[in-house]
Amino acid sequence: MRKIRVLVVDDEENILWLLKEGLSDEKIDVLTTTEPNMAENYLAKGVDICLVDIFLGEYNGISLTEKWSNLFKETHFIIMTAQDTGSNVIESIKSGAKDFFSKPFDLLELKNKVISLCGNIPQSTISDSKEYDFETKNKKMLEIYKLIGKISKTNINVLILGESGTGKEVIARMIHKQSARSERPFVPINMAAIPNELLESELFGHERGSFTGAIGDKKGKFEEANHGTIFLDEISEMDMGLQSKLLRVIQEKEVTKIGSNKTLKLDTRIIAASNRNLEELVSTGKFREDLYYRLNVVSIELPPLYERKEDTAYLTNHFLHKHQSIKDKVLTCSEEALDAMTAYRWPGNIRELENSIQYAIVNAETDVIKLENLPPKIFEQGTGSGKSSTSHDLYKLALNIIESEILSEGNNAYDEFMKIVEYPIIKAVMDKTGNNKSVSAKILGINRNTFRKKVREHGFEQDS
């Protein structure tokens, strides 16, 4: 049995050495080059797998892969990069690459992929999409970006599932943006936001006089999205009667306005989304099974944000740039604040993170978002104070004292802080015990002599 021939194209000699050493064995021969022209010569002689870096000096690895995958159809291509942004992953798959690997490599995983690819057929065929270019280190999201690369040029219906706030519409827009329909309309509609009695008119349109209040003709969302994409968000909230009408629209590829006998032929891609388990709704008779399978040609399940904590920094940076107009500048985030956000569970997912970033930008007094600028529930968790309503004030007090000591070149911040925070508890225990120092010291769990000293320092009565 002949060996698998692998070609590595990268402009870094250390990467070439690493992959040659890490992949070569009794089953695999590895060739390496930093020169695209030399790579093309190797490919012409026959290569099973070609690993291509995105950045090759003046060359672009994705463009080369697109060219080479058309010229050398027997070769499987894998894109490599240290910048695994969403658009890079999608572009890689659409250019003809079979897979995408980010640096640093898991060599065992890469070797297994090389072996498994031999005997399979390469996949398909992107433009820039910076608006939705979320970087990711999360394996689930990387797989989702790969899937988008495969389906974006098709017209198949897609079902996106995930908790509220996980970015279902963002993914829907990403699919549309990368499709052949990208210059045509993308029309979103939230089923849960429109009363059922009005939803049919919103979806399919109506003619003047067709019902009370129909004072003019109205285009429906499907007609607006003709030749483009319609995004049906929260599809699970549609009632059964309207589900039947939607099913007919999908099957017949035509729509009839309320009050009209004429039909309009449609060429509309449907992307639906739900935060509920549609299979369970089907099993309980609350969602039509035939409609479910019409919509669920390909499904994408988005992970909640707490399952992709490694992406918190990327998303934070994205929203800091997106909302820079609040302060007319891009703020940065302190390490302490970022740690608190990474540890937080985010029940509202990405939407809650975005709202929190806007809150923090408004509250920030400098160009750096600090822990105390975050919403209280995140700040309190970050300071380990649970639900204490005073923690934020104490933290601010500490900052003020420290800044004052820095400005005055003093070195007494701890003592100053302790004098202030000790006073309330000493006064409270003295009031409660009728100024009995022995009992007060016992309640506080400190030495009686130490307590007497603190009483004197804070100017309380000396009587026991």
The residue extents of the domains of the chain are: 4-147, 154-303, 306-407, 413-457
User: Helices 349-363 and 312-322, interaxial angle, to 10°?
Assistant: 50
* Cβ-based burial of 260 (10 A; exposed 0-12, middle 13-18, buried ≥19): middle
Q: What top-level class would CATH report for the domain 154-303?
A: alpha beta
* Cβ-based burial of 172 (10 A; exposed 0-12, middle 13-18, buried ≥19): buried
Identify the pLDDT of residue 393: 65
Is 154-303 the same fold as 4-147?
Answer: yes
| pLDDT-derived band at 93, boundaries 50, 70, 90 | confident
| Dihedral, CA of residue 127, residue 132, residue 138 and residue 141, to nearest 10 | -70
Q: Is the pLDDT of residue 388 over 60?
A: no
User: One-letter amino acid identity for 248?
Assistant: R
Q: For 227-280, what is each residue's pLDDT tens digit? A: 999 999 999 999 999 999 999 999 999 998 888 888 899 999 999 999 999 999
| CATH architecture of residue range(s) 413-457 | Orthogonal Bundle (1.10)
Query: Per CATH, is 4-147 categorized as 3.50.50.60?
Result: no
If you average pLDDT over residues 332-345, what whole number do you get?
91
Q: For 291-312, what is each residue's pLDDT tens digit? A: 999 999 999 999 999 999 989 9
| CATH architecture of residue range(s) 306-407 | Orthogonal Bundle (1.10)
Does the pTM exceed 0.75?
no
Alpha carbon distances (Å) from 286 to 197, 235, 292: 18, 12, 11
Reduced to 3 states (helix: H, G, I; strand: E, B; else coil), residue 387 is coil
Question: Degrees (nearest 5) of the Cα angle 88, 89, 93?
Answer: 115
Identify the pLDDT of residue 119: 56
